[in-house]
């Protein structure tokens, strides 16, 4: 099957040189893309700016802003059986982007921020027969926030992890299915976790008769 995967951060520019973003390395999303290719799937990887080599064997699209990622994902989703939203999307952008470089003035600078498009929620609205797996990086009320995101964005499952996973080679995570049940807990290297996630998707989402099986 064909899987759409998002990875890395996005950037929202204040002026021509400064931007809002986050510390996402893209390693988890790239590991998922690699694991999906290894499992025999076709992969469309939409990536924000990262310092990683392109995973072999997948269709690769590079983007910078949330709007660019949003547009590409909506365009590619109809080709896919499902999507995995591993990108750490910048949730806000400046209402106005200044031209040039903002100079120091000795005064406080006020920024008005507005929300960026919600990629996962829009895919959820359009999914029809497709499946969606989201990621929830949470530090406060983690399970409560993950469950809220799971239902609000019409995900079939969500991976709950912690900000300590950013930039690391390994991570710990909890996989929650659409009923809100924890179906797997993992503490592993990111490529190992990615392989386990793809294996769970193959059994529980790609093959509906397998629903209910626990991952290992």
Residues designated as active site: 22
Cβ pair 198, 32 in contact under 8 A: yes
Q: What confidence score (pLDDT) does residue 215 get?
A: 42
Domain parsing of the chain, residue ranges? 2-92+113-210
Q: What confidence score (pLDDT) does residue 167 get?
A: 67
Which residues of the chain are under the pLDDT cut of 50?
208-216
CA distance 185 to 87: 20
The residues, any chain, with a CB within 8 Å of residue 145's CB and separated by 6 or more, are 136, 138
Q: Which residues pair with 188 in a beta bridge?
A: 171
CA distance 126 to 156: 13
Q: What confidence score (pLDDT) does residue 211 get?
A: 38
The residues, any chain, with a CB within 8 Å of residue 207's CB and separated by 6 or more, are none
CA 102 vs. chain centroid, Å, equals 31
Report whether CATH 1.10.3720.10 matches the domain 2-92+113-210.
Answer: no
Q: What confidence score (pLDDT) does residue 209 get?
A: 36
Q: What confidence score (pLDDT) does residue 205 get?
A: 95
* Residue 162: how many other CB atoms lie within 10 Å: 15
CA distance 180 to 145: 12
User: Edge to edge, what strands does the sheet with 2-7 contain?
Assistant: 59-62, 42-47, 2-7, 82-85, 131-137, 157-161, 170-177, 182-189
Token pair in block for residue 5: 């995967």
CA distance 152 to 83: 16
Q: What confidence score (pLDDT) does residue 207 get?
A: 57
The residues, any chain, with a CB within 8 Å of residue 17's CB and separated by 6 or more, are 101
Q: What confidence score (pLDDT) does residue 214 get?
A: 40
């Amino acid at each position: 099957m064909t899987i759409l995967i998002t990875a890395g951060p996005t950037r929202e520019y204040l002026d021509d040189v400064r931007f809002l973003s986050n510390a996402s390395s893209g390693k988890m999303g790239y590991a998922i893309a690699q694991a999906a290719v290894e499992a025999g799937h076709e992969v469309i990887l939409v990536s924000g700016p990262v310092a990683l080599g392109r995973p072999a064997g997948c269709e690769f699209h590079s983007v910078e802003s949330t709007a660019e990622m949003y547009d590409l994902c909506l365009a590619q989703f109809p080709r896919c059986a499902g999507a995995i939203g591993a990108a750490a999307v910048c949730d806000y952008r400046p209402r106005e982007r200044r031209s040039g470089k903002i100079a120091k003035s000795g005064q406080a600078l006020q920024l008005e921020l507005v929300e960026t498009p919600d990629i996962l929620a829009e895919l959820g609205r359009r999914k029809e027969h497709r499946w969606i797996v989201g990621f929830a990086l949470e530090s406060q009320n983690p399970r409560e926030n993950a469950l809220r995101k799971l239902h609000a964005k019409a995900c079939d499952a969500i991976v709950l992890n912690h900000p300590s996973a950013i930039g690391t080679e390994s991570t710990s995570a909890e996989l929650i299915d659409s009923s809100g049940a924890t179906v797997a807990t993992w503490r592993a290297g990111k490529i190992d976790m990615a392989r386990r996630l793809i294996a769970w998707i193959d059994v529980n989402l790609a093959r509906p008769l397998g629903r209910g099986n626990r991952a290992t």
